[in-house]
Amino acid sequence: MREHMLAAIAAASGLDALEACRVEALGKQGTITALLKTLGKMTPDERLVQGPLIQGLREAVANGIAERKATLERAALDARLASETLDMTLPADAPVSGTIHPVSQVMDELAEIFADLGFAVATGPEIETDWHNFSALNIPETHPARAMHDTFYLQQGIDAKAAGTADEKTTFSLLRTHTSPVQIRTMLSQKPPIRIIAPGRTYRSDSDATHTPMFHQVEGLVIDKGITLGHLKWTLETFVKAFFERDDIVLRMRPSYFPFTEPSVEIDVGYTLVKGKRVVGGAEPDGWLEILGSGMVHRKVIEACGLDPDEWQGFAFGCGIDRLAMLKYGMDDLRPFFDGDIRWLKHYGFSSLDVPTLSAGVGA
C-alpha cells in the first residue's frame, strides 16, 4: 500500500491531482483513515503490531504529499517568472503631475530662510479697516495712498462713511494695500519681543508689466529692546544672500521716506550683466536694483499699538514676492504670473517634491 500511494503521489502532474491523492489516502473516507478507525476494534496485542505500521504509513504519505506539493509550487513559480519578464531597459512612463507656482515656491523659500533666523509666520485678513491699514501706520488722511485711484474701497465702507456711521477701527472698508496691518494686529495681540514675517496677497489699483492689481508681499517685523539699524542691515544681508544662494551679494542702503518708519531706507542689490541679462550678485556690480523698503518702526506706530517707544524699538521691511521670483528665476513680465497659462506654469513651475529646505539649497 505504501509503495502504491507514494508512486501515485510522485506521478501527480499538478496540484489538483496531488489533492486527489491526499483525499483518497487521508480524507474522511480515505484508505488510511479507514485503517486508523480499525485500531479501536483490535486487541491490545494486534494494536501493538498494527498501530506502528498504520501510523508509519500515514506519516510517509503525509511527508510525500508535502514534498511533492513544494516541488509543484516551485515549478509553477518558475514558469510564471519565465513568462512574466520585465524589460528594465525600457524607460518608464512619466507620471502625470502638477507643478508648484513660482509665487508659492518663493513663499516657502522665504518662510524657510526666516524660520532659521527665528521668525514666525503671521497672517491676517485681506479685507481690512482704515485704521489697521492706514491710521495705525501713521499714514495721514491726505496721503496719496488713501486716494480712490490707488486703493480698492468696498461699497459698504463708502456707504458707511457717507452716512457718518463708519468706525475706522471696526468697519472693514478696503482691500489691504500691504501686509503691514498684520504687523499691527500682531503687536496688539502679542507681547514683545516679536519676530514675524507676514506673507500674503495685497491689492492696489495698478497694472503694467511690473505691476498687477493683486500681487504678493512679504513684510518683516522685529520688536524688542535695544534694536538698531545695524540689526536691520545684518538681517537683510543674511536674507538676500540666502535667497539668491550667493555670497558675493552687495547691498546699498539709500535714505528714503515711509510714514511708518523713521529713519527709512531703501535697499538696492548689485547686479552684473551676463549675456545682456541682469544677474543678481557680483563683487563689482554693473548696476543696482531696488528690491525692498525698510526702516526703524516709527514711534507713533509703536504707541498706536499700546507699547512704550522709549522701552521698545524695532525694525520693519517689505518687498514684493512676485518681483523676487522674477529676479531669481529670470522672468521679465509680471502679468503671466496671473494669466493661468498652463504652458507658462509648466515652464517656470516647480516639482511638488522640490520642497525648499536649507539643506537642499535654499540658504546653503
Average pLDDT, the chain: 88
> 218 pLDDT exceeds 90?
yes
> 235 pLDDT exceeds 50?
yes
Mean pLDDT, range 167-193, rounded to an integer: 92
Whole-angstrom distance, CA of residue 237 vs CA of residue 363: 12
Helices 102-116 and 229-244 meet at what angle, rounded to 10?
Answer: 130
Helix (H, G, I), strand (E, B) or coil at 91: coil
* pLDDT value of position 364: 38
**82: exposed, middle or buried (Cβ count in 10 Å: 0-12, 13-18, 19+):** exposed
> 361 pLDDT exceeds 70?
no
pLDDT digits (tens, 9 = 90+) for 30-82: 888 888 888 888 888 888 888 888 888 889 988 988 998 999 899 888 888 88
Whole-angstrom distance, CA of residue 364 vs CA of residue 360: 7
At position 181, the amino acid (one-letter code) is P
pLDDT digits (tens, 9 = 90+) for 98-136: 888 999 999 999 999 999 999 999 999 999 999 999 999
Whole-angstrom distance, CA of residue 12 vs CA of residue 125: 78
> What's the pTM?
0.68
Kindly state the helix (H) or strand (E) to which residue 127 belongs, with its residue range: strand 127-129
> 330 pLDDT exceeds 90?
no
